[in-house]
Amino acid sequence: MQRFVLAFALMLSASPAFAALKPGTRATDFTTQAVLAGNVDTFNLNKALKRGPVVLYFYPKAFTSGCTVEAHEFSEAADDFAAYGASIVGMSADDLDTLKRFSVEACRNKFTVGIATKAMIKNYKVGLPATGMTNRTTYVIAPDGKVLFAYSQLGVKGHVSGALNAVKAWRAANPKGK
């Protein structure tokens, strides 16, 4: 039944793009429970932004085919993002035990995954109707807290490449990282 609800919600929101935050919008700070390489910690957006841009990507459900593929793609590109000073964090409404496994198996210990709270889902405009889950939206947030890139598509294609291009462009315009 849960898969039916997910499939139905995804069909409802399968428009060309979801209503995402627009570039230039200030991203709302948040702190949430998060996991890296199976280890539980907290993630705070403003703290992460002090180190450089943050690729904040929302995905509907761990261990579904699209979300697993997306996590693999982000893990394969993690070193490229790091070379430009960016960090990656994936967010879903999954529980902590699921995220522990997902961080190791799908994210390959390369980046943090965290719990998308109801407030985050609302603030980042990533809710799937009537499910409590998030849609598939990727943001790149600059160290000043402003959204540089927003991409919302049900399919996986374009999320990693678009985010990496945004990070590269940011680095070219900010060679010293400021």
Give CA 143 to chain center in angstroms. Answer: 16
Instruction: List the beta strands (DSSP E) in the chain.
Output: 31-36, 39-44, 54-58, 87-92, 112-115, 137-141, 147-152
Count structural domains, the chain: 1
Q: What is the pLDDT of residues 145-175, one digit of tens each?
A: 999 999 999 999 999 999 999 999 999 999 9
Q: Which residue has the tokens 């069909």?
A: 11
Query: Does residue 85 belong to any structural domain of this protein?
Result: yes
Domain that holds residue 160: 2-173
Query: Does residue 37 belong to any structural domain of this protein?
Result: yes
Q: Domain with 109 in it: what CATH number?
A: 3.40.30.10
Asked about 67 being catalytic, the answer comes back as yes
Band of the pLDDT at 177, cuts 50, 70, 90?
A: confident
Q: What is the pLDDT of residues 71-119, one digit of tens each?
A: 999 999 999 999 999 999 999 999 999 999 999 999 999 999 999 999 9
Residue 141's closest CA among 70, 91, 75?
91
Query: Does residue 61 belong to any structural domain of this protein?
Result: yes
Q: What is the pLDDT of residues 123-144, one digit of tens each?
A: 999 999 888 899 999 999 999 9
Catalytic residue among 34, 35, 67, 77: 67
Query: Does residue 178 belong to any structural domain of this protein?
Result: no
